[in-house]
Amino acid sequence: MDLNSLSVDELLTKRNSLRRQLSASTDLKELRIAVLGGSTTNELVGLFELLLLSDGFRPVFYQSDYGRFYDDAVHDPQALIDFKPDLVYVHTSCRNVQNAPPLSCTEAELASYVQTETARYAEIWDALERNVGCQVIQNNFEAPPYAILGNYDAIASGGLTRFLLQLNVSLSQEIAKRSKVILQDVHSISARLGLKQWFDWTRYFSYKLLLTPEAHLELARSFAATVSALYGKSRKVLVLDLDNTLWGGVIGDDGVDKIQIGRETPVAESYTAFQEYCLSLRNRGILLAVCSKNTEEIAKTGFEHPSSVLKLEHISCFKANWEPKHENILAIAQELNLGVDSFVFVDDNPAERSIVEAQVPGVAVPDVGSEVSKYAEIVEQGRYFESLSLSKEDLERAALYAENSQRAALERKFANYGEYLDSLEMVAEIDTFKPVYIERIAQLTNKTNQFNLTTRRYTLAEMESISTDSNYIGIYGRLIDRFGDNGLISIVLGRKDFEAPGGTLLLDLWLMSCRVLKRDMEVAMLDELVARAKQSGLARLIGYYLPTKKNGMVMEHYAGLGFEKTRMDADGTSEWTLDLAGYQPRNTHIRILETVNG
């Protein structure tokens, strides 16, 4: 169910019926969320619940009493400890700031006021890490409702506007050092909505509800998108129609010279601006694909227009033909090795949007209308591409998919697949977890769905803790070949268990990016895993396959690596064992770099 089309009034009035419908799903992940509020949070939590249910979570909430966000975290945390949250949300506003400077504050004194207020929130985060050890989402601050000094309030060292701006910078710098704290950018969210629609003083003085329902909805959308990103549910692909979506006009009828793109007219400039938005998404790691009813050769000429911002090399998958668009979207998913639930489809035609939405469950289909000047705004409002970090792999993702096309072209030249693998001149770095890669490792655990044996999710904080725990063996794999660096693309994580004679490594996690399928990387990972297990005195590996809707491709993964099936449950869950006595390395196509940590 898409809740984006409903107004906040509809969401609040229909909340109970919507909750019943959404809760009926059997495939929801339970999530325990503690909300520590500087104002009354009931309405906000009600919206959280709906949006999280819609995103595949079954939230259970703890709410602090009004204004007790600091006390519950620092002075009286037992109720929070007993609740055992997976996530804590600290919801505060500029009214909760305690150390704002007086108007008489000098420039030299201002820094100490900022530092004192930052330290107060750092104290909350430190207490939460000690007591519950989970991920924390902390907002920064909106601008004050009144600028007492007018425009000068943003300049004067005693101005509240100036103080909150510098406090926000200080909080960002402090949060950047903390893997267990995520920033919610309330300053930008409130600015986009507008402060006149942000505060509701009548509700505040009556019920201690500081914000309007509209503000609560924007906060809830931001929060739900952040939670989805934390658990690997952000979208990865923007699928685009062409005619009247990326340019004005119908290229097959009008010809490339007559399509509207460029700076000459308002309409043409609107299409150019949307192309610039799409390119900015690609530059941060979102893949672009084309799905158009067109003749392919003619459709491609649109990208040769001198004013086209997007070029063919920016498109990771191009489908222009006369087949139904929903079939082409499934073909794009297969070609990119990605699930359709990672897709966002933009098309000016409401009939095409409706068909795709009905025929391909999981694809996000924003109702962009037909006014191109609003396309980017509407896609942004959906918060489909929320990100918690920006890795080297993100910045290079589109190039990595382009390199895969070159590999596929090379493969067709070889009759013998082993010779093809050798021709790639593959080199792998396989080692135990390193601090420099922990962020990417956590990201991969939450984004990989198909080649993922258990689909267990780990936050950055959890993975950091595991990486220093001697009870675990965790290895990563990076793969380089003649076409380029694929990046960090595989992870295996096992727990040591010495209850059985000889000791066992229980494999909680084995995953790999589909970009490197059929390259024997899993064989190389097994060789290195076995070597480290033997070094730890372990006699066997036990792996698990937990079936999901998306990971059927790895059902026989362990069988292919020589494991013996030792258990099979009615739900398809299976257990596999590999005795390490006499194990001989099997990798023959990938050269392994000398390890550093292992």
DSSP string for 26-54: S--EEEEEEEEESS--HHHHHHHHHHHHH
pLDDT digits (tens, 9 = 90+) for 187-227: 999 999 999 999 999 999 999 999 999 999 999 999 999 99
H/E element, 512: strand 504-512
H/E element, 86: none
**CA 312 distance to own-chain centroid:** 26
Per-residue tokens: 121: 């929130």
- Which of 166 and 1 is assigned the larger pLDDT? 166
Residue 380 has pLDDT above 90, yes or no: yes
pLDDT digits (tens, 9 = 90+) for 448-491: 888 999 999 888 888 998 999 999 999 999 999 888 888 899 99
**CA 248 distance to own-chain centroid:** 32
Under CATH, what is the fold of the domain 412-592? Aminopeptidase (3.40.630)
Q: What is the pTM of this model?
A: 0.78
Asked if 88 and 134 touch (Cβ cutoff 8 Å), the reply is yes
The amino acid occupying position 236 is K
CATH 3.40.50.1000 boundaries in the chain? 237-381
CATH 3.40.50.1110 boundaries in the chain? 8-230
Contacts of 321 (CB under 8 A, 6+ apart): 293, 294, 295, 296, 328
Q: How do 472-481 and 315-321 pair as beta strands?
A: unpaired
Residue 380: CA atoms inside 13 Å, Cβ hemisphere, count?
Answer: 12
Contacts of 569 (CB under 8 A, 6+ apart): none
Residue 577 has pLDDT above 60, yes or no: yes
Residue 517 has pLDDT above 90, yes or no: no
Rounded to an integer, the average pLDDT of 126-142 is 96
CATH says 8-230 is which class?
A: alpha beta
pLDDT category of residue 595 using cuts at 50, 70 and 90: low
Residue among 295, 285, 355 at smallest CA distance from 320: 295
Least confident span in 241-245, 376-380, 551-555:
551-555
Residue 457: CA atoms inside 13 Å, Cβ hemisphere, count?
Answer: 17
Please spell the DSSP secondary structure of 311-347, one letter per residue.
-GGGEEEEEEESS-HHHHHHHHHHHHT--GGGEEEE-
Helix, strand or coil, per DSSP, at residue 310: coil
CATH of domain 237-381: 3.40.50.1000
Rounded to an integer, the average pLDDT of 510-528 is 91
Q: What angle do CA 498, 504, 505 make, to 5 degrees?
A: 120
> Rounded mean pLDDT of the chain?
93
Contacts of 456 (CB under 8 A, 6+ apart): 445, 508, 509
CATH 3.40.630.30 boundaries in the chain? 412-592
Phi, psi of 286 (to 5 degrees): -85, 130
Helix, strand or coil, per DSSP, at residue 87: strand
Phi, psi of 97 (to 5 degrees): -70, 130
Per-residue tokens: 303: 């990208």
The pLDDT score that the predictor gives to residue 405 is 67
Asked if 325 and 355 touch (Cβ cutoff 8 Å), the reply is yes
- DSSP code at position 596: S
Radius of gyration of the chain (CA): 26
The pLDDT score that the predictor gives to residue 4 is 80
Residue 598 has pLDDT above 60, yes or no: no
The amino acid occupying position 578 is L
In degrees to the nearest 10, what's the CA dihedral of 98, 104, 106, 112? -20
In degrees to the nearest 10, what's the CA dihedral of 397, 233, 548, 83? 140
What is the spatial distance between Cα 454 and Cα 460, in angstroms, rounded to a whole number?
18
Residue 552 has pLDDT above 70, yes or no: yes
Residue among 441, 453, 431 at smallest CA distance from 541: 453
What is the spatial distance between Cα 311 and Cα 349, in angstroms, rounded to a whole number?
23
pLDDT category of residue 443 using cuts at 50, 70 and 90: confident
What is the spatial distance between Cα 536 and Cα 541, in angstroms, rounded to a whole number?
12
pLDDT category of residue 409 using cuts at 50, 70 and 90: low
List residues bridging with 318 in a β-sheet: 290
What is the spatial distance between Cα 378 and Cα 284, in angstroms, rounded to a whole number?
19
Per-residue tokens: 387: 């990100």
Neighbours of 257 (CB within 10 A): 8
Please spell the DSSP secondary structure of 150-210, one letter per residue.
GGGGGTSTT-HHHHHHHHHHHHHHHHTT-TTEEEE-HHHHHHHH-GGGTB-HHHHHHHS--
The pLDDT score that the predictor gives to residue 149 is 97
Asked if 355 and 254 touch (Cβ cutoff 8 Å), the reply is no
The pLDDT score that the predictor gives to residue 597 is 52
